[in-house]
A and B are shown apart, each in its own frame.
Chain A
Amino acid sequence: MLFDSSKVLLFRYFVLCIGIAPGIIFAWLWVNGGLGANPAEAAVHFTGKTGLVLLLITIAFSPAFRLTGWRGVMAARRQIGLWAFFWLVVHMLTWFGWDQYWDWQWIWHDIWALHYVRYGVLALLLLVPLAVTSFQWFPQHMGWKAWHWLHRFIYLSAGLGIYHFWELTRADYLVPFVFGSVLAFLVVFRLIDALIHRQ
């Protein structure tokens, strides 16, 4: 029987594995030619989906805590959130570098010309203050209330990110629909939870 603190540690290592796993999968695909004829496109799609999934998992941590009451969930929340941010930054850099070849003129053109690019950039920018303030120092100095308020932007960012995904989809909306449904479910859970606790 493990002590609770070692279980927490174990869980944090598990979350570490979740954060690293996409990198290993991607490297494996790359080495084995699994990226196909258009590796730049494959890389952008892979990192984007990874980032969105991790973002949804991050959001799911708070209902998971409500349901289990286990402090290990909260102990790993910042980590999973930072992994989501990390993969979304990689997603953007992959697009900048691999897809657009660091051609800033065209990157700038696409950000302004194409709806979905704009929403994607906006979604990521919204996450920057969240990632920055995720260190212990911030909630203690800015106050937990303000910190919590700020970190609710993760819902908006996820919403914009899924909209970004929806907009770039050509015909088959199943996957972005599933992403959107998961987010909607999590938001509804959060709202109901907030209502119950207010009473």
Chain B
Amino acid sequence: MKGYRYPKIAESEVTPKHVFENRRRFLQHSAAFGAVMSFAPGMLMPNTASAWQRTLADKIQQGVSNQDFAEGESLTSVNDATTYNNFYEFGVRKSDPEVYGHKLQTDPWRVSIEGEFENTASVYLEDILRRYMLEERIYRLRCVETWSMVIPWLGFPLANLLTHYGLTSRANYIEFESIFDPDNLRGQRRSMIDWPYREALRIDEAMHPLTMIAVGMYGEKMPNQNGAPMRLVVPWKYGFKSIKSVVAIRALEEKPTPSWVAKNPEEYGFYANVNPEVDHPRWSQARERRIGEGGRRETLMFNGYADEVAQLYTGIDLQKHY
């Protein structure tokens, strides 16, 4: 597993063009028969189509090491965690992602590894999944809108993925990009955000062992509304940093501008660390509502992960760099 290097060849060489086009034609024809399509995909599509789902199912079966990162916290109910979501690609209402989530096309899923990597690649999700043991981690999730959840994620450290492709010495930031598919994602037909959604981390944040790529939650594959098939989870930052449905990971020399910062630079900072002492102009951040619980509870510095991550920010004025 360690010795494996993804071959440094262009995407067009991996999948011969005629095969790729054949598949497109096949899909177009199938679309003409709506009734057939409603059950056919799993049966008729080439093996690669649902390959990642099978690989993931195997990986989940292989047993996950349970490590508790949120001691004494009780889990948010699956129902709450899958019906109350911010995923503006589906619409701004909290219920939209669950209602329209089925529109997200995840088969096949490719991730583009770009920029300051020794080996750039366009890789199928199954090839990523094959490399790693999945680990279950229970993390607190704190949304900038002052609600929070406790979620058991299934995934692997982002650092493993980054080091696999070899970061160059110029890689100072990692930028992530979500899927762009306005035909299927109704929220993207409106220009409320400069689509596609982009987020970014400083390289040391990206390499931090707490930062993970999640491909499942609650012991199952990632539901569409929660960012299928793979998403980022950065537990000490506000939820919007944990970008969903990632299609590109880019190593950059210069600091990129995440979508929310571009939208409203006075409200959103690059770091977006959970910080009860810095109010957002829209929300007081000192307290939060734990979903499924009455009342409010105090918000913890770095969402309770200060011991692990505070040293990343020594010498930085967090009042200024929020």
A113 & B84 in contact (Cβ 8 Å cutoff): no
Residue among A36, A100, A110, A115 with the most chain B CB within 10 A?
A: A36
Binds A, one of B35-43, B117-125, B287-295: B287-295
A38 & B284 in contact (Cβ 8 Å cutoff): no
A38 & B94 in contact (Cβ 8 Å cutoff): yes
B190 & A113 in contact (Cβ 8 Å cutoff): no
Chain B's nearest CB lies how many Å from the CB of A137? 42
Which of B95, B147, B284, B294 meets A110, CB within 8 Å? Answer: B284
Residues of B within 8 A of A30 (CB): none
Interface size classification for chain A: 20 to 34
A38 & B192 in contact (Cβ 8 Å cutoff): no
A36 & B83 in contact (Cβ 8 Å cutoff): yes
Given known A-B contacts A171-B92, A172-B88, A172-B92, A38 and B282 have beta carbons under 8 A apart: no
Residues of B within 8 A of A37 (CB): 79-81, 83-84, 94, 291-292
B255 interfacial contact with A, CB 8 Å: no
Given known A-B contacts A38-B289, A174-B190, A115 and B281 have beta carbons under 8 A apart: yes
Complex: how many Å from CA A114 to CA B296? 18
Complex: how many Å from CA A66 to CA B127? 70
Which of A36, A101, A106, A174 meets B284, CB within 8 Å? Answer: A106
Residues 255-281 of chain B: 1 if any A CB is under 8 Å from the residue's CB, otherwise 0?
A: 000000001000000000000000101
B291 & A170 in contact (Cβ 8 Å cutoff): no
B193 interfacial contact with A, CB 8 Å: yes
B92 & A38 in contact (Cβ 8 Å cutoff): no
Which of chain B's residues 61-120 have a Cβ closer than 8 Å to chain A?
A: 79-81, 83-84, 88, 91-92, 94-95
A-B residue pairs in contact (CB < 8 Å), sample of 5:
A37-B79, A37-B291, A170-B92, A170-B282, A171-B192
Q: Which residues of A contact B (CB under 8 A)?
A: 36-38, 40-41, 100-101, 103, 106, 109-110, 113-116, 167-168, 170-174
